[in-house]
Amino acid sequence: MTFRAPVRDLAFALSTVGHDALVKRAFPELDADTISAVLEAAGGFTTDVLAPLNRRGDLDGAKIENGVVRAAPGFAEAYRQFAEQGWNSLAADPQFGGQGLPKAMELAVFEMVHAANMAFGLCPMLTQAAVEALTLHGTEKQKRLVLPKLVSGEWTGAMVLTEPQAGTDLAALSARAEPDGDGGYRLYGQKIFITWGDHDATDNICHLVLARLPDAPPGVKGISLFLTSKHLLDDEGNLGARNDFRPASIEHKLGIHGSPTCVMLYEGAKAELVGEPNQGLAHMFVMMNAARLQVGVQGVAIAERAFQQALAFSQERRQGRAAWAADGAIWGHPDVRRMLTLSKAKIEAARGICLTTGVLADIARLADTEEERAAARARQELLTPIAKAWSTDVGVEVASLGVQVHGGMGFIEETGAAQHYRDARIAPIYEGTNGVQALDLVGRKVPMAGGAVMRELCAEMQVTAQTLADTAELAAVGRRLAAGVGALERATEWVLANGGTAAQAASTPYLKLAGDVIGGWFLGRQALAAAGASDPWLQSKPALARFYAAQVLAGAPGLADSVCEGAGDLEHVSPEALAG
């Protein structure tokens, strides 16, 4: 199935999440024609260059040969084109060679990249996360020698956290950094699951590594962040001898076969401290939060790719007597149409959440007053775990529905539908499992300012619900959204009043409830923007909002009930009872 970059959907979504107002205030030199040209060019590149490599990357994958990782066939050349055309530098600071475009535009471009080829997109995604970390916490020398190379894409970056005994629990990290006597450090240890930790697409790779100094306190308070590169650098940033770290193997994974996931060995690698000693986890969180938002975008992207394939198949496949298709195409079967419409609605909802989080990131940096910046920062922090977890759950759900639409053919690898499902399944796991995102939401983000950030968001959503209720063709959406926001408010007050283990047990249903309602809010806003339009494409937006309201928002009160049950019987369930 030929991939079609969703340029029009992305442009419309940007226009409804506050991007236009942001551009007018903070990017006055950026006009509508330029935005359109960037999206169209990215759509062409992803469609023509990256999408055709997706299946080959899945079948052939990355390889390790004589200690060297070889990218999947065609990936290295595609990466060189990607960097040369400037796609790596969209939102980076111009002082380091970036183009200084809005974050939401970068996310829109990267949605197309991930949809075309998710395994490929992981490489520049992690490079951008490294750029953000070094921009905030790097030394002047690191910014001068390393940042421009990462921004341009001449070099790539990798995030190096996990060890065999330390996955989510970073307090268990044992990699060590020993002073070398010359103001630098030597790194020792083994790391696993290092995405694009080694490859042959660029001459150099910069690793941001968590490790412990000799006198570090135990736990997460004793972790520092270090920069080390595949090749040693001289004082002008020129590449020298190979550094003392190497890939021991690459993982054999369920999906994203084109992305080399490496076991890395650090055997005295020369490194530099990034930021302050023993503050590495806080510094790394800059990189992790950037990656978490991008992973949310991956969820949207893989859902879009799976949906496109399933929609095309539904119009080609003839089976049985279709109620709404005289030619027997399965698109005419009500349940097939239900699955596809639900998929499209959830894609639009997740896209709205992710792009809004990107807009907030720019407002938090560029707004005129500290009050505005602080409010945007707080809402960005609130939405980030929802963007990551809810959107990646949507990716898996839609990819699974795509297999279902294909029927038995979806379970056959040759159709390609199974690849999207396999690729999607990692996104709820890496960059902090979705369960961890839910714990972060109820434990840290909802309680911010005594719950004021979520309460203010709910109040804003209720205003939209009233506007929808006052619009004849959208009145049902307004009623459902109002009830959904009411359910979220009730669940939020319960979380704030209880906390602890009870809130932890309810965290996943709470995050789902929040995503369902906030996603419905974005669909309602799109519907209002398109109301009364004569264009059939725009007319689909109110229809999607009505369908989502009936199929998803209608379940919000029940989800709130689930949240308010807290731990229920969980504390008393035993493995023996479950095993039977």
Average pLDDT over every residue of 85-111: 97
Beta bridge partners of 184: none
According to the model, what pLDDT value does residue 499 have? 87
Name which of 56-60, 210-214, 288-292, 554-558 the model is least confident about.
Answer: 288-292
Domain 155-279 CATH (choose: 2.40.110.20, 3.40.710.10, 2.30.30.180, 2.40.50.100): 2.40.110.20
According to the model, what pLDDT value does residue 73 have? 97
3-state secondary structure (DSSP) of residue 329: strand
Average pLDDT over every residue of 474-487: 98
- Give the pLDDT band of residue 76 (cuts 50, 70, 90): very high
Average pLDDT over every residue of 69-77: 98
Please state, in angstroms and rounded to a whole number, the distance separating the CA atoms of residues 514 and 443.
Answer: 14
Of the residues 111, 163, 272, 431, which is catalytic? 431
Please state, in angstroms and rounded to a whole number, the distance separating the CA atoms of residues 291 and 125.
Answer: 7
Q: To 10 degrees, what angle do helices 507-530 and 475-498 make? A: 150
Dihedrals phi, psi of 132, to nearest 5 degrees: -65, -40
pTM: 0.97
Please state, in angstroms and rounded to a whole number, the distance separating the CA atoms of residues 77 and 419.
Answer: 23
190-199 tens-digit pLDDT = 999 999 999 9
Domain extent listing, the chain: 7-151, 155-279, 434-568
Q: Mention every residue, 6+ apart, whose C-beta is less than 8 A from residue 492.
A: 446, 451, 454, 455, 458
Dihedrals phi, psi of 267, to nearest 5 degrees: -120, 55
* 3-class SS letters over 523-579: HHHHHHHHCCCCCHHHHHHHHHHHHHHHHCHHHHHHHHHHHHCCCCCHHHCCHHHHH
481-491 tens-digit pLDDT = 999 999 999 99
Q: What is the DSSP string of 72-105?
A: PTTHHHHHHHHHHTTGGGSSS-GGGT-----HHH
Q: What percent of the chain has pLDDT over 90?
A: 93
Comparing CA positions, the residue from 471, 492, 468, 493 lying closest to residue 480 is: 468
3-state secondary structure (DSSP) of residue 295: helix
Token pair in block for residue 512: 């789902």
According to the model, what pLDDT value does residue 286 have? 83
According to the model, what pLDDT value does residue 1 have? 57
The yes-or-no answer on residue 473 being catalytic is no
499-541 tens-digit pLDDT = 899 999 999 999 999 999 999 999 999 999 999 899 999 999 9
According to the model, what pLDDT value does residue 327 have? 87
- Give the pLDDT band of residue 16 (cuts 50, 70, 90): very high
Please state, in angstroms and rounded to a whole number, the distance separating the CA atoms of residues 446 and 314.
Answer: 41
- Give the pLDDT band of residue 360 (cuts 50, 70, 90): very high
Comparing CA positions, the residue from 139, 135, 137, 90 lying closest to residue 111 is: 90
* 3-class SS letters over 40-71: HHHHHHHHHHHHHHHHHHHHHCCEEECCEEEC
Please say if the pLDDT value at position 472 is more than 70. Answer: yes
285-319 tens-digit pLDDT = 888 888 999 999 999 999 999 999 999 999 999 98
398-441 tens-digit pLDDT = 999 999 999 999 999 999 999 999 999 999 999 999 999 999 99
Please say if the pLDDT value at position 365 is more than 80. Answer: yes
Average pLDDT over every residue of 447-466: 98
CA angle 40, 43, 47 (to 5 degrees): 145
Average pLDDT over every residue of 451-479: 98
Which is it for strands 156-160 and 176-179: parallel, antiparallel or unpaired? unpaired
141-166 tens-digit pLDDT = 999 999 999 999 999 999 999 999 99
Mean confidence (pLDDT) of the chain: 96
Token pair in block for residue 527: 């519907």
Q: What is the DSSP letter of 241?
A: E
* 3-class SS letters over 431-499: CCCHHHHHHHHHHHHCCHHHHHHHHHHHHHHHHHHHHHHCCHHHHHHHHHHHHHHHHHHHHHHHHHHHC
Q: Mention every residue, 6+ apart, whose C-beta is less than 8 A from residue 226.
A: 177, 185, 187, 208, 209, 210, 211, 271, 272, 273, 274, 280
Comparing CA positions, the residue from 478, 566, 564, 556 lying closest to residue 524 is: 478
Cα Rg of the chain, angstroms: 24
Fold (CATH) for 7-151:
Butyryl-Coa Dehydrogenase, subunit A; domain 1 (1.10.540)
Please state, in angstroms and rounded to a whole number, the distance separating the CA atoms of residues 348 and 9.
Answer: 8
Comparing CA positions, the residue from 158, 177, 432 lying closest to residue 296 is: 432
